[in-house]
């Protein structure tokens, strides 16, 4: 018996040694090409880039994987408990592999053999980290063995908290969200610290199979799995029985977070910043780099800009008639279903889509578009309303020209027409339509170049083309201040007199005969009158007298053009530029001649909080002193280039104040503080501009069709754009204290005659206090630049009816 036992023991030992050798050889082959688990030290997953307004409000997020990385210390204990209960309750006890859970899974799988059920897994959180970070998802024995070996090694190299941190920030939750912070925002629009027990349990249920527990397509399965997690949390002592029961009674409550722009009216601004970041750092930095971008946008000013531009566009568009319905649908069945299929402008929440149900001479009965739930499913709502005739009279005229003017709503609508409406205070609705005309507006701080507001069109949902930065348009007469600035910087004064008379320019066999707006000419006029009345002929003569090379140099110095052709027609703003460039150039005039670098971005930080870009380049001496030891106060060193004489900047500002008070914008700008600006209208009234400023805010805009076409006779910068500027500035400056333009030291003020530009005697009528640089002043002799002779002012005025017309408010130039 002893020999038999020894015999079997020997066979067993040999078999065991052989098996051990086979296992050793197998493990050797498996571990030979194991990935290096030390890469977890440098884990830097794709993280969402977040864009914020100047006040810190979230504007937009950009990511391929919607993830926000949270250190384990920032993750609440309740969230940890939910995932431990759902995935690995023995996480803090096992060495990487849960042997008890493994044997339990083996038993269950043996029992389920032949049932068709999917095998039950027993992967710990550590094993899932090994699989997600270092291995593939192949369902093979080799992968499971590698996973187990790596798990032991990871447990030896990293703390449990570090492993849990990696897991909670890496896992996929569905709806393109990764990591617990991203999932909390995506599913519930909350931070992890705000999650309830029920919400936490649902998120903990998702890693097992996000599509299996989809909140809308698989709602019952999602609730069942969530409740199972809650039961495990109760069983493990993380949640009381009563709290668990209360959590299980709650609905799923998923409210997916809005994608795209989160801050109202900021879409054009956000998109421009997005393009700039890609241009500077590339796609990967934006969509994976986890950048924190603080922009210069002021939400209050942005809303004011959007409202003012939209109001101006709609006012112009409605004066020209009704374009017709968006489409026509059948209303014989359930019109709510058909109407819900029509896309509305998501960024114009004031408007609603409606279908005409009945129409009579007094108005139209309408049905409003049903709303949709978070899943996009139509909510069965059939809300009725009415458009009264008084709220749609503008539509009696057809903008298409395909019918005569209607006399009542019955001549405008047919049953089934889909139109936009806006609620009124009286409970009825006003007819609206998307305008065909477009425009762009930019507002800027002239002292820093920070862009505070930007509107690139009526609606970003209607058109993503940003007309404030991408549309190249002719600025027309809004360019003239830079011609005059070049003159004032080179020996001319605001009282210099130029002949306003017909002129012919011959070049290359071509004859160019510029004209003033409205025709006619006004004879000798001062530079001030020339810019106030926007006289084309005077501007051409002035540019010709100076030389266009000088004008081109100033235009490039101000950043209006990169390269300007030195031809005389360019002096009238015939070159193409953008609203942003024009506003930047006017900011130089507003801040006393300092160079401006327009910026939509204040600061960019990387995922670790390191600042990698800052717009502010000025330095502050003594700003970082720890204590005050009677040293001088900190001083901000402004090292920006002086591109224009401060006195010249003040002179042109003073002249443009005259544009607002007496010139082409007179009566249109009604602000409670000093305001300078210039109108601009291009040939055939294709573009209408106004750019202006107060001491602390610059704004500019244009209105025009995307495919340039005449806006109509009388559609000038003064009539169309100046009122929009006034509406915007009134709202933007509300609550701020009025200030005055700074007068440079040494500037002299002398009373001059507005007709002749010569010094006025005491008590003489029609005089104005004009600003002169030291060593300059009114002319002693009435000389006319561009005239054939020099004579007394009395003689010229006597022999020139046009000159008399000019000084008494006669014909103006290109507005």
Catalytic residues: 87, 477
* Encoded tokens for 563: 């390269």
Adjacent-strand bridge partners of 261: 60
3-state helix, strand, coil in the chain (%, to 5): 40, 20, 45
Please tell me the distance from the alpha carbon of residue 216 to that of residue 373, in angstroms, as a whole number.
Answer: 10
Please tell me the distance from the alpha carbon of residue 256 to that of residue 183, in angstroms, as a whole number.
Answer: 10
* Residue 55 CA from chain centroid, whole number: 14
Dihedral angle sign, alpha carbons of residues 289, 294, 299, 302: negative
Q: What is the DSSP string of 109-178?
A: HHHTTTTTPPPPP---HHHHHHHHHHS-----HHHHHHHHHHHHHHHHHS-HHHHHHHHHHH-EEETTEE
With 0-12 / 13-18 / 19 or more C-beta atoms within 10 angstroms meaning exposed / middle / buried, residue 410 is middle
- Contacts of 679 by beta carbon, 8 Å cutoff, 6+ apart: 477, 478, 534, 659, 663, 664, 665, 689, 690, 716, 717, 718, 721, 722, 815
With 0-12 / 13-18 / 19 or more C-beta atoms within 10 angstroms meaning exposed / middle / buried, residue 73 is exposed
**3-state SS class at 505:** strand
- What is the chain's length? 815
Three-state SS string over 197-244 comes to HHHHHHHHHHHHCHHHHCCCCCHHHHHHHHHHHHHHHHHCCCCCHHHH
Half-sphere exposure of 675 (CA within 13 A, CB side): 28
């Amino acid at each position: 018996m002893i020999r038999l036992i020894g015999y079997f023991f020997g066979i067993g030992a040999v078999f065991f040694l052989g098996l051990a050798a086979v296992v050793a050889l197998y493990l050797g082959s498996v571990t030979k090409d194991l990935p290096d688990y030390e890469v977890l030290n440098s884990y830097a997953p794709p993280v969402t880039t977040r864009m914020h307004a100047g006040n810190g409000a979230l504007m937009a997020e950009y990511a391929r994987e919607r993830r926000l990385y949270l250190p384990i210390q920032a993750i609440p204990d309740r969230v940890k408990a939910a995932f431990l209960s759902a995935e690995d309750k023995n996480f803090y006890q096992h060495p990487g592999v849960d042997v008890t859970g493994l044997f339990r899974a083996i038993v269950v799988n043996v029992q389920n053999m032949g049932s068709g059920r999917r095998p039950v897994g027993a992967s710990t959180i550590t094993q899932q980290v090994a699989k997600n970070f270092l291995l593939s998802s192949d369902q093979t024995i080799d992968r499971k063995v590698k996973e187990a070996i790596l798990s032991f090694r990871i447990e030896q190299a990293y703390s449990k908290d570090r492993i849990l941190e990696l897991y909670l920030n890496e896992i996929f939750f569905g709806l393109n969200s990764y990591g617990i912070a991203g999932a909390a925002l995506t599913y519930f629009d909350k931070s992890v610290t705000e999650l309830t027990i029920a919400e936490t349990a649902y998120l903990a249920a998702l890693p097992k199979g996000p599509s299996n527990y989809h909140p809308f397509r698989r709602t019952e399965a999602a609730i069942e799995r969530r409740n199972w997690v809650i039961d495990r949390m109760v069983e493990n002592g993380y949640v009381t029985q009563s709290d668990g029961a209360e959590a299980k009674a709650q609905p799923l409550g998923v409210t997916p977070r809005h994608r795209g722009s989160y801050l109202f009216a900021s879409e054009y601004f956000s998109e421009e910043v997005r393009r700039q970041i890609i241009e500077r750092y590339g796609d990967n930095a934006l969509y994976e780099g986890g950048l924190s971008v603080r922009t210069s946008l002021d939400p209050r000013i942005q809303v004011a800009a959007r409202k003012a531009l939209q109001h101006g566009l709609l006012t112009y568009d409605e004066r020209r008639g009704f374009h017709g319905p968006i489409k026509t649908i059948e209303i014989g069945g359930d019109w709510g279903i058909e109407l819900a299929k029509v896309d509305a402008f998501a960024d114009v929440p004031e408007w609603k889509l409606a279908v005409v149900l009945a129409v009579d001479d007094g108005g139209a009965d309408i049905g409003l578009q049903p709303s949709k739930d978070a899943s996009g499913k139509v909510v069965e709502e059939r809300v009725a309303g009415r458009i009264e005739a008084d709220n749609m009279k503008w539509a009696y005229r057809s903008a298409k020209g395909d019918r005569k003017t209607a006399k009542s709503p019955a001549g405008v609508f047919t049953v089934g027409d889909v139109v936009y409406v806006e609620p009124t205070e009286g409970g009825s609705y006003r007819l609206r339509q998307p305008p065909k005309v477009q425009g762009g507006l930019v507002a800027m701080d002239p002292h820093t170049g920070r862009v505070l507001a930007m509107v690139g069109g009526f609606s970003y949902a209607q058109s993503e083309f940003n007309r404030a930065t991408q549309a190249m348009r002719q600025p027309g007469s809004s360019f003239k201040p830079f011609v005059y600035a070049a003159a004032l910087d080179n020996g001319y004064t605001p009282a210099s007199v130029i002949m306003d008379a017909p002129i012919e320019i011959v070049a290359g066999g071509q004859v160019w005969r510029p004209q003033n707006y409205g025709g006619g000419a006004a004879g000798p006029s001062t530079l001030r009158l020339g810019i106030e009345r926007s006289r084309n002929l005077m501007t051409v003569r002035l540019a010709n007298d100076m030389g266009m090379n000088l004008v081109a140099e100033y235009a490039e110095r101000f950043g209006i053009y990169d390269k300007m052709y030195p031809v005389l027609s360019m002096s009238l703003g015939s070159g193409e530029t953008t609203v942003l460039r024009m506003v930047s150039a006017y900011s130089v005039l507003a801040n006393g001649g300092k160079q401006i670098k327009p910026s939509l971005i204040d600061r960019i930080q990387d995922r670790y909080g390191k600042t990698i870009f800052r717009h502010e380049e000025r330095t502050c001496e003594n700003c970082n002193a720890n204590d005050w030891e009677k040293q001088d106060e900190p001083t901000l060193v402004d090292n920006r280039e002086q591109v224009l004489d401060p006195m010249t900047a003040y002179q042109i500002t003073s002249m443009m104040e005259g544009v607002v008070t007496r010139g082409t914008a007179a009566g249109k700008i009604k602000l409670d503080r000093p305001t300078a600006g210039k109108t601009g209208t291009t040939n055939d009234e294709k573009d209408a501009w106004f750019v202006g400023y107060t001491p602390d805010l610059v704004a500019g805009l244009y209105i025009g069709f995307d495919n340039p076409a005449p806006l109509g006779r009388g559609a000038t910068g003064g009539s169309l754009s100046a009122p929009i500027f006034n509406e915007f500035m009134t709202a933007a400056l509300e609550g701020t204290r009025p200030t005055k333009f700074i007068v440079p030291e040494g500037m002299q003020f002398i009373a001059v005659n507005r007709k002749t530009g010569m010094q006025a005697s005491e008590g003489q009528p029609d005089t104005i206090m004009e600003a002169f640089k030291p060593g300059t002043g009114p002319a002693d002799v009435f000389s006319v630049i561009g005239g054939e002779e020099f004579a007394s002012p009395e003689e010229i005025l006597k022999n020139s009816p046009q000159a008399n017309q000019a000084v008494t408010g006669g014909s103006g130039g290109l507005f």
